[in-house]
Structure 1
Amino acid sequence: MDSSTDNAIMLKVKSGDLEKMGLLFERHHRPLFGFYYRMCQDAELSEDLVQNLFLRMIKYRHTFTGEGKFTSWMYHLARNLLADHYRKKKKMTTDNFKEVEKLWEEEAAQETKEERIRLLEKAMQYLSDDKREVLVLSRYQGLRYQEIADMQNTSEANIKVKVYRALRELKEIFQKLERFSAL
């Protein structure tokens, strides 16, 4: 095994060479921050979650087997950490659209590419956590469906269906937000 692969480095961490975790941090802290930020829209919380994830990776290093991709194991822990955070804070994503008009009063009505991106990000926040997660992992983090399936202990076909349904719902939400913004 190439000693510079994530798996090889994590196996060294597992065997007690904790200094190697710095290499993994350098490689993965930005994508992890992006994952958390897209899930919770809070930069400070996202930074905290990334730090806590690397501590959790050290704590649970004994669970890493070296089989499969390191990133699948890492995102599995990342998902669990986020779920634990929400359980502790009793925060749940709302499907309530009453806030949409208020949000759009604060923004300009002109359609630009940047505004459409912001609109898409808002629409993402109205998805359930499960749907938003599969979209973030597949579209933003670039994980393959099989990797996500392994993380969620399900089939690749099931993940494809989840992504399809999430995209369909995202489109509906985006269109509703567009209509509200035109008012």
Structure 2
Amino acid sequence: MLRVKAGDLDKMGLLFERYNRPLFAFFYHMTHNADRSDDLVQNVFYRMLKYRHTFTGEGEFRSWMYHLGRNVLNDSVRENKGRNNVDVSDLADQLGGGTSADGGFEQQQDKDLLHQAMAGLSSEHREILIMSRFQELKYEEIAKVLNINEGTVKVRVHRALGELKKKFFTNERR
């Protein structure tokens, strides 16, 4: 990114090749809409070019990229009046532990319950779980993206997991 900032715009293609899939996955998990996620990725890379002068190189590029991504997503949510859905297929594996269900039907049932629970979370809780579990960002990186300290990230992840667990087991009893 420092080369792009210095005017070597050809390096933007390399950044796109490396980071478009993880960024797409982040958006897809937040919106559950592939077309919208593609558009959001394109917007992030456009903003990278437009705001390349703001990249200092002091922090990690990924943190800066996800910070831009969050801004693009927030702008999109405001424009679309919050029509965000969540895709949590295979969420059980990514949250750790998987399911202990025997057979495909019970496993699918658990995934459906987890989908409902994830969809019931606030966007803040959903976002921090996606960053920490799907995108596998370190707490330090998440702290930079969210502009909070690392301890706060740990607390928020813990609370989000607790809320997810509560919603999951509430849905399971129904």
Same fold flag (TM > 0.5): yes
Q: How does 1:168-179 map to 2 (within 5 A)?
A: 168-179=162-173
Amino acid at match of 1:57: M
Q: How many residues align?
A: 156
- Distance in 2 between the 1:146 and 1:62 partners? 23
Q: Is 1:58 aligned with 2:52?
A: no
Structure 1 ranges of 4+ moved more than 4 A:
none
- Distance in 2 between the 1:19 and 1:121 partners? 40
RMSD: 1.8
Q: TM-score if structure 1 supplies the norm length?
A: 0.79
Aligned with 1:67: secondary structure? Answer: coil
Q: Percent identity?
A: 56
Cα gap change, 1:119 to 1:22, in 2 (>3 Å): farther
- Distance in 2 between the 1:21 and 1:120 partners? 37
Q: Is 1:42 aligned with 2:33?
A: yes
Shift of 1:179: 2.5
2:147 corresponds to: 153
Q: How does 1:24-43 map to 2 (within 5 A)?
A: 24-43=15-34
1:40-77 alpha-carbon deviations (Å, 9 max, x no partner): 11111111111111111111111100111100000000
Q: TM-score if structure 2 supplies the norm length?
A: 0.83
- Distance in 2 between the 1:122 and 1:111 partners? 15
Shift of 1:155: 1.0
- Distance in 1 between the 2:125 and 2:83 partners? 13
- Distance in 2 between the 1:38 and 1:83 partners? 14
- Distance in 1 between the 2:73 and 2:131 partners? 14
> Which of these residues, 18, 23, 31, is aligned with residue 9 of structure 2?
18
Shift of 1:93: 5.6
| C-alpha contact (below 8 Å) 2:77/2:84 kept by paired residues | no
Unpaired runs of 5+ residues, structure 2, are: 86-103
Unpaired runs of 5+ residues, structure 1, are: 1-9, 95-108
2:93 corresponds to: none
